[in-house]
Amino acid sequence: MERLDVVVVGSGPAGWAVAAACVGEGLATAVVGPKVGEVWGSTFGVWGDQVDGLPMGAKVKRATKVWGSGRELRRGYAVLDNPSVVAAFRAIGVVEVVDKVVTAEFGPRGATVVLGSGRRVACAVVVDASGFRRVLSGGPVRGTRVEQTAYGVVVRSSDVGPPVHSGEAVFMDWGLPPTFLYAVPLPGDRVLLEETSLAARPGIGWGELKDRLHARIGPVSPLAVERVRFPLDVPATPVRHRGCVPFGAAAGMVHPATGYSVGDVLATAPRVATAIAAGLARDPVTAAGAGRAAVWSPGPRVVHALRRYGLRALLGLPPRRLPEFFGAFFDLPEPLQRAYLSERERPREVAAAMLGVFRAVPWEIRRKLLVSRHSPPG
Ligand SMILES: Cc1cc2nc3c(=O)[nH]c(=O)nc-3n(C[C@H](O)[C@H](O)[C@H](O)COP(=O)(O)OP(=O)(O)OC[C@H]3O[C@@H](n4cnc5c(N)ncnc54)[C@H](O)[C@@H]3O)c2cc1C
């Protein structure tokens, strides 16, 4: 293989999004991973306005209505149709290398990526999109982490009843806090019903979540089962090599208080690719630095810190107060909800959303929110 401009490690949403964007900038780009070309196994949801970041030909299942903690949300929601999304990314012209990245050697003129098969691939810039494994960015975070966990079943739409109505998405239907029901329509007239623990350290186990789900919906014969477990408190400052751009979950881009990252990587990937392409006019180290700066510019850093505070606040609340807390959140004006949930560049609005919730909740909750800064996660 000739020397490439960019090698992307990992073929999840972050890897494909940034690789496709790099090709769009005219850069010779490869994606390396053990599962390149395979359809993602997780159900990925994004806000309706984030769908624009998907490649041409990608399909989604849009919810007809969206409910959050009992309120109707004036914002669309869509679930990715993974086979069509991956096929659309694959059609863009990225070189696919099915292999595992073991390490990479970085120098002033670029990098050499060392693969499990023994092959070595030379390139100017490496993007580490290896998810929580953070293969080139310090490895998996250690210790007991704050985790999001969920246990879900896929059933036919005709088999569900209230509070889930066919075609609609439900966030946070509270039964017995701290867990809630997350329900989304899937392609092919199916629904995912997922008992979810937003954040706990350590995460609530699948056994308990399964029992809670079955207590809620009764016995079902699922078409498929989904188990979710991932850390929320991945640092935004991974180990850095001068020729490497961490991206996606590997870069700590997962929202600390919601667990979302897919919409954000779709929106951010083109900026990262543009920055790398511009930097390559000078040299690989400049290009990688510009790519990193496009991921974590000052605005997103402040937003991330505020959201981490939000995570601490969540962890400090007694479970019985969670529905009230999220009710106050979903009563906020839509632009403030949007900023907190999915805008990386709007620190003012994110702070205003947090202040809005603080003002709206009773004093018992306010007290807990104030002292939560004394018990930081991790
Ligand atoms: C079940 C589940 C459901 C989720 N649902 C949502 C959702 O609805 N919306 C949302 O925004 N977020 C969701 N998340 C959270 C988060 O956005 C996802 O974890 C998302 O997959 C992160 O994307 P990523 O591309 O950064 O990492 P990943 O999707 O984890 O991709 C990492 C890639 O790196 C590859 N890799 C690993 N090691 C190596 C190696 N040594 N060499 C080469 N390649 C390697 C892997 O094979 C994989 O392809 C969910 C998470 C889970 C686990």
Are residues 243 and 273 both part of a single domain? yes
What integer pLDDT is reported at residue 377 of this predicted model?
46
DSSP per-residue string spanning 295-313: HS-HHHHHHHHHHHHHHHH
Helix (H, G, I), strand (E, B) or coil at 75: coil
Query: Could you tell me the pLDDT band of residue 223, with boundaries at 50, 70 and 90?
Result: very high
| 301-344 tens-digit pLDDT | 999 999 999 999 999 999 999 999 999 999 999 999 999 999 99
Are residues 87 and 120 both part of a single domain? yes
Mean pLDDT of 261-276: 98
| CA of 370 relative to ligand 1 center, distance in Å | 33
Q: Cα–Cα distance between 127 and 240 in angstroms, integer?
A: 11
| 137-160 tens-digit pLDDT | 999 999 999 999 999 999 999 888
The percentage of the chain sitting over the pLDDT mark of 90, rounded to a whole number, equals 86
Assess if residue 377 is contained within a domain.
no
Is residue 353 within 8 Å of residue 340, measured between CB atoms?
yes
Pick from 10-14, 211-215, 277-281, 309-313: least confident:
309-313
Mean pLDDT of 83-99: 98
Are residues 258 and 318 both part of a single domain? no
Are residues 17 and 117 both part of a single domain? yes
Q: Cα–Cα distance between 376 and 139 in angstroms, integer?
A: 22
Q: Which two tokens stand for residue 148?
A: 């999001």
Q: Which two tokens stand for residue 132?
A: 């929580």
| CA of 244 relative to ligand 1 center, distance in Å | 19
Number of Cβ atoms within 10 Å of the Cβ of 127: 34
Assess if residue 306 is contained within a domain.
yes
| 347-374 tens-digit pLDDT | 999 999 999 999 999 998 999 888 865 4
Q: Which two tokens stand for residue 107?
A: 């120098």
> Does the CB atom of residue 135 touch ligand 1 within 6 A?
yes
Given ligand 1 and candidates 66, 230, 272, which is best to mutate, with the most ligand atoms within 8 Å of its CB?
A: 230
| CA of 9 relative to ligand 1 center, distance in Å | 12
Are residues 221 and 340 both part of a single domain? no
Q: Cα–Cα distance between 143 and 269 in angstroms, integer?
A: 30
Taking the CA atoms of 331, 336, 338 and 344 in sequence, report the sign of the dihedral they define.
negative
What integer pLDDT is reported at residue 373 of this predicted model?
56
Q: Which two tokens stand for residue 375?
A: 């018990």
Q: Cα–Cα distance between 150 and 182 in angstroms, integer?
A: 9
- Domain end point (choices 251, 276, 296): 296
Assess if residue 76 is contained within a domain.
no
Assess if residue 75 is contained within a domain.
no
Nearest to 19 by CA among 83, 90, 81: 90
Pick from 95-104, 130-139, 222-231, 239-248: least confident:
239-248
Q: Cα–Cα distance between 57 and 18 in angstroms, integer?
A: 17
Total domain count, the chain: 3
Q: Which two tokens stand for residue 281?
A: 């006019």
| 19-57 tens-digit pLDDT | 999 999 999 999 999 999 999 999 999 999 999 999 999
| CA of 330 relative to ligand 1 center, distance in Å | 27
CATH number of the domain enclosing 156: 3.30.70
**Closest residue by CA, ligand 1 atom 29:** 12
Higher-confidence residue: 143 or 129?
129
**Closest residue by CA, ligand 1 atom 13:** 260
> Does the CB atom of residue 130 touch ligand 1 within 6 A?
yes
Q: Cα–Cα distance between 169 and 113 in angstroms, integer?
A: 42
Is residue 22 within 8 Å of residue 5, measured between CB atoms?
yes
The percentage of the chain sitting over the pLDDT mark of 70, rounded to a whole number, equals 98
Provide the residue range defining the domain that includes 350. Answer: 300-369
Is residue 137 within 8 Å of residue 129, measured between CB atoms?
no
Are residues 158 and 214 both part of a single domain? yes
Query: Could you tell me the pLDDT band of residue 1, with boundaries at 50, 70 and 90?
Result: low
Report the Cα–Cα distance between both ends of the chain, in Å, rounded.
Answer: 42
Residue 7's beta-bridge partner residues? 30, 126
| CA of 185 relative to ligand 1 center, distance in Å | 21
**Closest residue by CA, ligand 1 atom 33:** 10
CATH number of the domain enclosing 284: 3.50.50.60
Query: Could you tell me the pLDDT band of residue 240, with boundaries at 50, 70 and 90?
Result: confident
What integer pLDDT is reported at residue 308 of this predicted model?
93
Indicate the average pLDDT of the chain: 94
Are residues 339 and 205 both part of a single domain? no
> Does the CB atom of residue 284 touch ligand 1 within 6 A?
no
